[in-house]
Amino acid sequence: MFFSLNFPCQRRTLLSFAAAGLPGITPAAALAVDAPSPGVMLAKPWQASLNPADYLVSEKLDGVRALWDGDRLRFRSGRPIAAPAWMLAGLPGVALDGELWLGRQRFDALSGIVRKQSPLDSEWRSVRYMVFDLPQNPGTFAGRAAQVRELLEAAYQPWLQTVAQMTVSDAAALQARLNEVVAAGGEGLVLHRADSLWAPGRSDALRKLKAVPDEEARVLAQIPGKGKYLGRMGALLLEMPDGQRFALGTGFSDALRSNPPAVGAIVSYRYRDRTLSGLPRFASFLRLRDLE
């Protein structure tokens, strides 16, 4: 291992690592770690102390976050999505927030489609843009959800659809809905306070609930492997949204260990529970989010 896991890994530190030629660290990637967060709402984990009746509930889609500003379609990172011209022409002239989606348990196939620099019509014809919010709209989420339905009905595009919202009366009804979605192959649920206003960043008003929790973290460094992983990546040093860091070393395929996620990339990981300090226990790599 080239360095301790407890060092102050700020941008200047990563730049010095890049200059030293450490694996997976380039000047561009080091600068990307300190890049400003895009203006999107992000969910926090659901807490049992909250009242589900205060929220609108939808299925958490296993898709790729896509932001439309009336002119461009972009990933969450701000990078442009190379969507077909016919799709862009069919979008309304207002800002939308949603997910590009192929269906349950088809994230890998979707990722391969939407990351191509030259879109293939034959592939994109199966992709749906599932819209759940109107960014920067001044109304409550309940009002925005109603406007989304009206707007997309008027657009009349079969691939442009509204994410269905529902209400639940209590914790038992919420658990029943989660069980139903998971049994059908879904990821989990999203809960959005009906009376909340839109605001960028990780929000108390937006929650996610899964049978097995997962979170996202940013790659700070690739830790060289030992033993059977000698010459390949042994683990990733990750930084959580609250600034805490930990090493993730399980759940990777041999192909990913040979070609690991780059510094600055966003990865998802599953975990069982958390330590008293808030670090994940029994964490395992789930997928690369690739700065979307």
Residue-level pLDDT at 153? 96
pTM over 0.85: no
Q: What is the pLDDT of residue 34?
A: 39
Give the span between the Cα atoms of 147 and 135, in whole angstroms.
Answer: 12
Average pLDDT, 10 consecutive residues per value, the chain (292 residues):
34 42 44 48 94 98 94 92 96 96 93 94 97 95 97 96 98 96 94 97 94 89 93 95 94 92 91 88 85 45
pLDDT score, position 243: 93
- The secondary structure of residue 225, as a DSSP letter, is B
Work out the number of other CB atoms within 10 angstroms of the CB of residue 95: 16
- Which of the listed CATH numbers 3.30.465.10, 1.25.40.20, 3.30.470.30, 3.30.479.30 matches domain 44-209? 3.30.470.30
Which of 193, 197, 198, 213 shows the shortest CA–CA distance to 57? 193
Contact 57, 190 (CB under 8 A): yes
Instruction: Fill in the DSSP letter of residue 230.
Output: B
Catalytic residue check, 228: no
Domain ranges for the chain: 11-35+213-288, 44-209
Exposure class string for 52-61: b at 16+ Cβ within 10 A, else e: beebbbbbbb
Longest dimension (CA), the chain: 60
Q: What is the pLDDT, as a whole number, of residue 290?
A: 57
Nearest residue to 14 via CA among 216, 288, 215, 219? 219
The closest of 95, 209, 207 to 144, measured between CA atoms, is 95
Q: What topology does CATH give the domain 11-35+213-288?
A: OB fold (Dihydrolipoamide Acetyltransferase, E2P) (2.40.50)
Residue 76, class by beta-carbon neighbours within 10 Å (0-12 exposed, 13-18 middle, 19+ buried)?
A: buried
Same fold: 11-35+213-288 with 44-209 = no
Give 206's strand partners. 192
Catalytic residue among 44, 60, 210, 226: 60
Which residues are paired to 60 by β-bridges? 188
